[in-house]
Every structure is written in structure tokens, then in C-alpha cells.
Amino acid sequence: MTAGYAFGQLQRALRHAGADSARAAGWRAVLDGMADGTLIVGSRTPVADTPAWVTLEVLHGGFATGRYLAEAPLRQDEAEVLDAAHLPGTTDRERLNLYYLTDAGQAVLRDALATGTYRVDSPSTPRS
């Protein structure tokens, strides 16, 4: 598939939703990814260096934006954990996940499991 379709969708988003809309941002991400080679349209694994099992944000027509659905911004309680942890990582979400692999993080998880004080959210059902 060519960039022509994606460009047309960007133009449509700009006309109907505006330059600052999420729709326009999504189509810009598609075109940027196509241009720099990080998105391979039509591939089972369209985002470079991303396993097939990762759930991607997908726009109309099946175009992946390159954004992972689990790449949600941190909640306040998660940000507080990171403020105290000072761990390496390229994103806040990665740093948070790495925290829960430490001894301290494992203790928090074991306690939550033992007391039943945990909640499992999925990207499609954000926490309110």
C-alpha cells in the first residue's frame, strides 16, 4: 500500500477534526513511520523491532501508528513509585516494569497477591 492513502486520510482528518486532533496525529505517525522505515505497511509485524504479540494502535484501513496500546501514561500512584525508584529504562512504563522485577517490587507484588489488593486493567478498559 502506498503512502497516498495515508496522506489522503491525514488531509481528511485535518479538514474534519483539525490539526491538533488525535486523528491527525495518528496519520502523521503513520506517514512518519513509513518515511523513516519504522513501519512496514502490510507486514504481520509492521513496526520494526516489535514482536508480533504486541498490540498496536491501528487506524482505519489497518494502518499501525507505531504506538503500543499498553503504552499508556503513568497513573499518579505509578509515577510516585518511579520518583522513589531511580531505575534505568527508555520510557517511564519500562522503568516501572523494571521496578517490579527488583526485590522491592517483587515484595510489593507478593503482598498485593496475598492480600487481594490488586486490580488488573487492560489497555482497552482504562482505569477511571
* Claim: this prediction has a pTM higher than 0.95: no
Q: What is the distance between the alpha carbons of residues 73 and 9, in angstroms, rounded to a whole number?
A: 26
Q: What is the distance between the alpha carbons of residues 119 and 76, in angstroms, rounded to a whole number?
A: 15
Query: Which pairs count as long-range contacts for 112-117, CB under 8 Å and 24+ apart, including other chains?
Result: none
Condensed to tens digits (0 to 9), the pLDDT of residues 56-106 reads 888 888 888 888 887 778 889 999 998 887 788 878 888 888 899 999 999
Residues 6 or more apart whose Cβ sits within 8 Å of residue 128 = none
Condensed to tens digits (0 to 9), the pLDDT of residues 32-65 reads 999 998 888 888 888 888 888 888 888 888 888 8
Torsion from C-alpha of 83, 95, 54, 73, nearest 10 degrees: 20
Q: What is the distance between the alpha carbons of residues 54 and 2, in angstroms, rounded to a whole number?
A: 24
Q: What is the distance between the alpha carbons of residues 93 and 41, in angstroms, rounded to a whole number?
A: 26
Q: What is the distance between the alpha carbons of residues 74 and 93, in angstroms, rounded to a whole number?
A: 7
Confidence (pLDDT) at 91: 82
